[in-house]
A and B are shown apart, each in its own frame.
Chain A
Amino acid sequence: MIHSLFLINASGDIFLEKHWKSVVSRSVCDYFFEAQERATEPENVPPVIPTPHHYLISVLRHRIYFVAVIQSEVPPLFVIEFLHRVVDTFQDYFGVCTEAAIKDNVVVVYELLEEMLDNGFPLATESNILKELIKPPTILRTMVNTITGSTNVGEQLPTGQLSVVPWRRTGVKYTNNEAYFDVVEEIDAIIDKSGSTITAEIQGVIDACVKLTGMPDLTLSFMNPRLLDDVSFHPCVRFKRWEAERILSFIPPDGNFRLLSYHVSSQNLVAIPVYVKHNITFREGSSQGRFDLTLGPKQTMGKAVESVLVSSQLPRGVLNANLNPSQGAYTFDPVTKLLTWDVGKINPQKLPNLKGTMNLQAGASKPDENPTINIQFKIQQMAISGLKVNRLDMYGEKYKPFKGIKYMTKAGKFQVRT
Chain B
Amino acid sequence: MSASSAFNEEKMGSSSVGEAEYAYDPVSGKIFSSDYNRHDDLKEMLDSNKDSLKLEAMKRIVAMIARGKNASDLFPAVVKNVACKNIEVKKLVYVYLVRYAEEQQDLALLSISTFQRGLKDPNQLIRASALRVLSSIRVTIIVPIMMLAIKEAASDMSPYVRKTAAHAIPKLYSLDPEQKDQLIEVIEKLLADKTTLVAGSVVMAFEEVCPERIDLIHKNYRKLCNLLIDVEEWGQVVIINMLTRYARTQFLNPNLNESLLEDGGSGDKTFYGSDEDEDDDEKENKEKAEAAALAKRKPYVMDPDHRLLLRNTKPLLQSRNAAVVMAVAQLYFHLAPKAEVGVIAKALVRLLRSHSEVQFVVLQNVATMTIRRRGMFEPYLKSFYIRSTDPTLIKILKLEVLTNLANETNISTILREFQTYIKSMDKDFVAATIQAIGRCATNIGEVRDTCLNGLVQLLSNRDELVVAESVVVIKKLLQMQPEKHSDIIKHMAKLTDNIQVPMARASILWLIGEYCEHVPKIAPDVLRKMAKSFTYEEDIVKLQILNLAAKLYLTNSKQTKLLTQYVLNLAKYDQNYDIRDRARFIRQLIVPTEKSGALSKYAKKLFLALKPAPVLESPFKDRDHFQLGSLSHLLNAKAGGYQELPDWPEAAPDPSVRNVEVFTLLERVTTLTSVPEWTKCSSREKRKEKKVEKPFYSDSEGESGPTESADSETNSASASDSASDSEQSRSSSESEESDEGSESEEEKENKNKKKVVKKAVKESESEQSSEEENRKLEKKIKQQEKDSETVSDDEESDSESSQSTSEDSESEAEVKKKAPVSRTPPKPVKKEKKEMSLLDLDDFEPATSPQVTPISTLLSNSLVTDLEGLSLSDSVLAPSTITPSGTLKSYELLHRITGEGLSVEYCFGRQPFSPDANMVAVQLQFTNNSTSETKNLHMKDVKLQSGMRVKEFPEIELLPAGDTASAVMGIDFCDSTQAANLQLCTSTRKFFVSIQPPVGELMRPVFLTENEFKREQGQLMGMNELTEKLILDAKYRNEHAIVQRVTTAAHLSRVPCGSDNECSFTSLKPLA
Contacts and interface: CB of A to CB of B under 8 A. Distances in A.
B958 to A, nearest CB: 24
Residue in B66, B160, B204 whose Cβ sees the most chain A Cβ within 10 Å: B66
B902 to A, nearest CB: 14
Contacts of B349: 230
B164 to A, nearest CB: 8
Nearest to B637: A50
A107 B17 contact: yes
Interface residues of A, number: 104
Given A46-B393, A157-B125, A370-B423, A76 B160 contact: no
Interface stretch (A147-155, A275-283, A346-354, A380-388): A147-155
Interface in A357-398: 365, 368-370, 372, 374, 395-396
A397 B102 CA distance: 52
A417 to B, nearest CB: 6
B990 A142 contact: no
A292 interface: no
Interface stretch (A98-106, A176-184, A403-411): A98-106
A118 B132 contact: yes
Interface stretch (B83-91, B602-610, B824-832): B83-91
Given A59-B355, A121-B201, A149-B52, A142 B389 contact: no
B68 A26 contact: yes
A114 B16 contact: no
Contacts of A417: 420
A80 B322 contact: yes
Contacts of A81: 321-323, 358
Interface string A48-73: 10100001001111000000001111
Residue in A77, A231, A369 whose Cβ sees the most chain B Cβ within 10 Å: A77
B16 A142 contact: yes
B159 interface: yes
A323 B250 CA distance: 69
B126 interface: yes
A22 B138 contact: yes
Contacts of B141: none
Interface in B45-79: 50-52, 55, 59, 62-63, 65-68
Contacts of A59: 355, 357
A203 interface: yes
A40 B428 CA distance: 11
A8 B671 CA distance: 54
Given A232-B350, A372-B388, A111 B204 contact: no
Contact of B17 (A55, A75, A106, A123): A106
Contacts of B423: 368-370
Interface residues of B, number: 109
A374 B17 contact: no
A203 B355 CA distance: 15
B641 interface: yes
Interface stretch (B227-235, B760-768, B814-822): B227-235
Given A80-B355, A107-B63, A72 B160 contact: no
A334 B349 CA distance: 37
Contact of B320 (A16, A19, A232, A396): A232
A121 B424 contact: no
Nearest to A200: B382
Contacts of B17: 105-107
Contact of A234 (B135, B170, B320): B320
A161 B356 CA distance: 31
A110 interface: yes
A158 B197 CA distance: 14
B234 A158 contact: no
Nearest to A238: B992
Contacts of A60: 357
A341 interface: no
Contacts of A369: 423-425
B350 A263 contact: yes
A305 B622 CA distance: 49
Interface in B167-189: 167-168, 170-171, 174
B863 to A, nearest CB: 40
Interface stretch (A207-215, A239-247, A294-302, A325-333): A239-247
Interface string B82-124: 0000111001101100010010000000000000000000011
Contacts of B234: 78, 82, 121-122, 125
B632 interface: yes
B999 interface: no
Interface string A208-226: 0000000001000000000
A76 B102 contact: no
Contacts of B992: 240-241, 244
A102 to B, nearest CB: 8
Contacts of B241: 75
B327 interface: yes
A402 interface: no
Contacts of A16: 66-67
B310 interface: no
10 contacts: A75-B241, A75-B629, A81-B321, A106-B18, A111-B92, A119-B170, A232-B319, A233-B320, A368-B463, A370-B423
Given A80-B358, A82-B234, 7 more contacts: A16-B66, A55-B635, A70-B631, A77-B322, A107-B59, A217-B898, A263-B346
Going nearest first, the 4 A-B pairs with the smallest beta carbon separation are: A72-B641, A149-B52, A151-B88, A157-B125
Interface of B: 11, 15-19, 21, 50-52, 55, 59, 62-63, 65-68, 86-88, 91-92, 94-95, 99, 102, 123-126, 129, 132, 135-136, 138, 158-160, 164, 167-168, 170-171, 174, 197, 201, 204, 229, 232-234, 237, 241, 315, 318-323, 325-327, 346-347, 349-350, 353, 355-358, 360-362, 382-383, 385, 387-389, 391-393, 417, 420, 423-425, 461-463, 629-632, 634-635, 637, 639-643, 897-898, 990, 992
